[in-house]
Chain A
Amino acid sequence: MGVGLVLILITSLIFPGIVSVVKAKIAGRKGPRVMQHFYDIIRLMKKGNIYSRTTGFLFQLAPIIYFSTLLTAVFFIPVGNYKALLSFEGDFVMFAYLMASGRFIMIIAAMDTGSGFEGMGANREAFYSLLAEPVFFIIMGSIALHTGHNSFYDIFSNLYVESALTYFVSALSVYLIFWVSMIENSRLPVDDPQTHLELTMVHEVMVLDHSGFELGLIQLAGGLKFAIFGSLIFNLVLPIQNSYFLQLTFFPIVQVIYAVLVAFVESFRARNKMMRNAQWIITLSALSIVVFLTILIIHEKVGMLP
C-alpha cells in the first residue's frame, strides 16, 4: 500500500535534479549533481528568515499549507497495482480541489507582500490554472465514463479494455497531462523559471519574498508536483495488471523519460508570448474534448443519436 507513496516521495526529491542535469548536458555545460537540488533545499531549511514589513501571519503560514495540501494529494495517487492509501469514489475531484486550495493560499501569500511583481505573478497563476482545470476534469471524466469507475485506482486498473482506440485515448491523455503538468509547475512554454526578468515570470515571481524554511518547502512542493503528475502519466501508460516486479522497474524508467522530456522541452521550445498563453491553454482543453468524443465513439454512444 505505502509503496506507491514512498516511490512518489523519492521521485519528488530526484526529479528536479534529473531535469537540470539533462538540461545542462544539452546546453553543453557540466551541470550540477543530481542531488544538488536536494542539498540546496536542506541548506535553505537551515537558514533564517527575512520577512517583509507589509506581510502578516498568512504569509508565513501559506507555504506550510501549500506543502501540506500537496503532501495530502500524494496519498490519492495509486502507482500501478499499489493502491493509494486514500481511495474513494470521486477522489480525483478531491485531488484537484486540494491542489486548488494550495494554489489559493499561495496567491494570497503573494498578494500579502503588496508588491507589483508578485501581484502580477499571482494573477497569472490564478488565470492559467483556471484555464488548465477543465483539461484535467475532461480527461478524468472521459476515462471515468470509459471504465465505468469513479476513483483513481479503479479507473487506472480498468483502463485497457478491448478497443484499439483506447491506446489513442491514453496517448492523447498522456500528451495533455504532460502539458498540464508544465502549466501547473509554471515551466515552459507558459513560464520560464530561468528568466531573470520579474515582469515576465509567473511562479518564480510569486515566491520572491519567501525565505529559509518556507522557501525550502516551496521548492520541495515543486518536486512533489512533478512526481504526482509523473505518477499519473505512469498510470496512464502502464495500468495493466502487471507483475509487481515489472511495475517497480518501469516506474523509474517512466519518470526518467518524463524528466528528460521536460528537459528537452525546456531546452528547445521557445516560450509563448505572454498574451498567447491563454489561447494556447484553451487549445489544450479543445484537444481534451477529442479524448471525450473518442470515448463516446468507443462506447458507440454516437450511434444512439436520435
Chain B
Amino acid sequence: MNEIIFIIIAVSALGIFALPKRSQYYLMLGTQIFLAALTGYLMYLSFNRIEPLQIYLFDLLGNDVSLVIDSLSAFFIFVINITVLTGALYAKGYLKPYLRDKTRLEMAWHYFNFLILHISLLMVAMLREGISFLVFWELMSVSVFFLIIFESEKQENKEAGIKFLIQMHVAFYFIIAAFIICSIATGQNIGFESLEQYFKDYPAFPVFLLFFIGFGIKAGFIPLHTWLIHAHPAAPSHISGIMSGVIIKMGIYGIVRVLTYIHSDLMPIGVFILIISIISGIFGVTIAIVQHDYKKLLAYHSIENIGIIGIGIGIGVMGLAINNPVLASLGFAGGLLHVLNHALFKSLLFYAAGSIYQQTHTRNIENLGGLMKKMPSTAVFFLLGAAAISGLPPFNGFISEFLIYTSLFKSLMVSDSILSVTLLAGIVALAVIGGLAVFCFTKVFSIIFLGTARSDKTRHSHEVRSSMLFPKFIIAILIIMIGIMPFMMLRPMSFVAGVFVDDTSSLRDMTGTMSGISLSLSLLIVFIGILFFIKLKLSKVRHTDIGSTWGCAYTGSDPALHQYSATSYAEYIIMKAKILVGVKKHFRYLTKENIFPGESYFKTGSSDVFEDNLVSRPAGGLLSFMEKIAVFQTGNIQHYLLYAIVFVIVISIISIFGII
C-alpha cells in the first residue's frame, strides 16, 4: 500500500515535466489535493489518541523509518495543508502573466519544487528518525530556494535566494551537531528518540541552545532573522505566503518537538525563550513600520508574530518548570494556536500583496494609493488580514493573543519577584506589539488603498480574477470563524497541549470565557447591524451631498500632493527608534557657483541594525581578509610548485622536531 502511494506521488511529480505548459498546474494541484486528503485522513486518525499513530515505511541502514503522528504533528499537518492548498489555488492566477515569458521547463521546475515542498513539509512534521528527518529538512530548504529564485532574471532575487541557502545550511549544521551530540552520548541512533535518554542524563540547556539556534534560524527569531527579510520579498507571492505561513513555522515545530523531550532545566529555557521572543516581537514590528516595501514589511511582521508565538511557548515551558498545568496548557495552546492564526492571516495578506504587485508592478507603497476603488475585494481582504494581525476582535489573532494574555496574568500570580518582572515585561510587550501593529497596518493599508493615487502605477490596475480571490475567501472565512467562535478551538488545542502536559482541563474550563468573548462579539455585531440599518433608513430621507475633502477652505491644489505619505506616517517611530531602524539619508547639497544649480541627488532608506552588525559587517570583514590572502593566488604555476615545496619542508621540519 505504502509503495503504491509513493509511486503515485513520484510519477505525478515527474509527470509534471512531461505535460504542456497549461496543464502542468492541474497535475500539481491534483497531487497536492491527494496528499492533503491522505494526510488529512492520518490526522483524523491520530487526533486525540493517547499513543501516537505509527506507520512503518521502510528500513534505512538498519533503522526503522516510520511516520509517527501525535496531536502536535496532526496540528502542523493541518496548518501545512490549509496554507499550501490555498497557496496552490492562488498560484494559478498569480502565475498566469508568467506563462507567456517562462519556458515549459521553467514552469515545470517551479511546480515540481512546489510539490516537493509540500511533501517535505509533511514528512518533516511526521518523521522522528534522524537521518530521514534531516534529508527531508534539507529537501525542504532546497525546494524553497528554487521557489524563491523563480524570477531569477532579477539579480536581487538571486542574492536573496543564495542568502537563504547559506543561512539554512548554517542552521542545518547546528541541528546536525545537536543530534550527533545526543546520539554519541546515548549510543542510540540519530533521531528524536535519542533526545529522551540524553535529556534524562545530561543538562538540557546547552544542547537545547544548539537546537534553538538551528531551528530558530528557520523560524526567524531576532537576531537570526536576516534571511527572512530578503527571501520574502524576492519570492513570488504564493510562495511568500506559504513561507511566512508554514515554512518558518517548521522552525517552531522543531523547537516544540525538542521541548517535548526536555524535563530538566525548564525554567532557564522558558525564560530564555520568553526574552528572545519579546525582543523579536518588539523589534520586528518596530522595524516593520519604517519599511516602504510592503512585502518586506510583511516579512518583518512574521518576525513579530514568531515573537508572539514564542511568548506563548515560553510561558508554557515555565508552566512545566513550576509544575503548573494551567500555565503550561494555556501557554502552549495560545502559542500554537497563534501558529495557525498567523498562517491564516499572513498568507491572506501575502496573497493580497501579490494581487497588488500583479496589478501595479511596484512594491513601494509610496507609489500607490486609492486602490480601494479599483480593487475593492482585495482591499477588504487586506483590511481583514490587517485587523487580524493587529490582534483586534472579532478576528482570530485576538483569540490566540487573549490566551497568551490569560496565561501571562495567571502566571503573574504564582511567580516570585524576578519572574514577575519578566512576566510583566511580557504583558507590556504584547500590549506594545499590538499598538505598534495597529500603527503599522493603518499605515500600510491607508497608503496603499486609501486617499488618491500617488503615481501613474495604479492607473491600469483593476480587480484580480476570481480564481485569485477564492482562496482568500476561504482563509477569510476561517479567520472570522475562529474569531467569533473561539470555543470550538479549545478542544483541538487541548489535545495539542496534551502532548506537553497531562492535565489540560484548564483549557476546557476556558469554555465559559470563550463563550463570553463570543457573546460580546455577537453583541458588537448586533449593534453594528442596528446602527447600519438606522443609517440606511436615514440616508433615504436625508439629503446627501458629495464634495471635496476639507482642505482648510482651499480647494485648488491636486489632492494627491497634500496627502499623508508613508514616511511622514512613520516619522514618530523613525525619531524614537533611531538606533534600531537606522534610517539614513544620502544627498548632495545644491551648490551656489552657477546661476543654475548642477546635478544633485537624494537617497534614503532604512537598514536593519542586526543585519548590519551580525551579518554584513563580519561577512565584509571576512571577504576583505580573503582578498588579502588572495595575493598567493597568482595564477603562476611556478609559484604553486614553490608553495608545495615550502609545505613539504615545513612538514618535515615539524616532524623532525617531533611536534606532530
Contacts and interface: CB of A to CB of B under 8 A. Distances in A.
Nearest to B562: A116
Contacts of B552: 117, 198
Given A108-B450, A130-B435, A90 B545 contact: no
Interface in A207-222: 208-209, 212-214, 217
Interface in B588-620: none
A94 interface: yes
A68 B145 CA distance: 47
Chain B binding surface, main DSSP class: helix
A3 interface: no
A114 B535 contact: no
A130 B432 contact: yes
B542 A48 contact: yes
Contacts of B535: 60, 64, 213-214
Contacts of A100: 390, 392, 434-435, 438
A51 B542 CA distance: 13
Contact of B406 (A75, A89, A115): A89
Contacts of B406: 89-90, 93, 150
A295 B452 CA distance: 51
Interface in A278-303: 278, 285, 292, 296, 301-302
Interface in B426-474: 427-428, 430-432, 434-436, 438-439, 441-442, 445-447, 450-452
Contacts of B435: 100, 126, 129-131, 133
Contact of A302 (B417, B539, B542): B417
Chain A binding surface, main DSSP class: helix
Interface string A99-141: 0110110011001111111111011001101110110111001
A138 B427 contact: yes
A71 interface: yes
Contacts of B546: 50-53
Contacts of B441: 104
Contacts of B5: none
B528 A64 contact: yes
B527 A97 contact: no
A68 B527 contact: yes
B512 interface: yes
Interface residues of A, number: 83
A58 interface: yes
B396 to A, nearest CB: 13
B438 A48 contact: no
Contacts of B551: 115, 117
A49 B545 contact: yes
Contacts of A120: 564, 568
Contacts of B452: 54, 114
A98 interface: yes
Interface stretch (B53-61, B120-128, B339-347, B514-522): B514-522
B538 interface: yes
Contact of B438 (A58, A126, A213): A126
Interface in A50-86: 50-56, 58, 60-61, 64-65, 67-69, 71-72, 75-76, 86
Interface of A: 45, 47-56, 58, 60-61, 64-65, 67-69, 71-72, 75-76, 86-91, 93-94, 96-98, 100-101, 103-104, 107-108, 111-120, 122-123, 126-127, 129-131, 133-134, 136-138, 141, 144-145, 148, 150, 198, 208-209, 212-214, 217, 278, 285, 292, 296, 301-302, 304-306
11 contacts: A49-B542, A54-B549, A94-B402, A97-B393, A98-B520, A108-B445, A114-B450, A115-B563, A130-B439, A150-B406, A212-B542
Given A52-B548, A53-B548, A305-B418, 9 more contacts: A64-B528, A75-B520, A111-B446, A112-B451, A114-B559, A114-B560, A126-B438, A145-B420, A304-B417
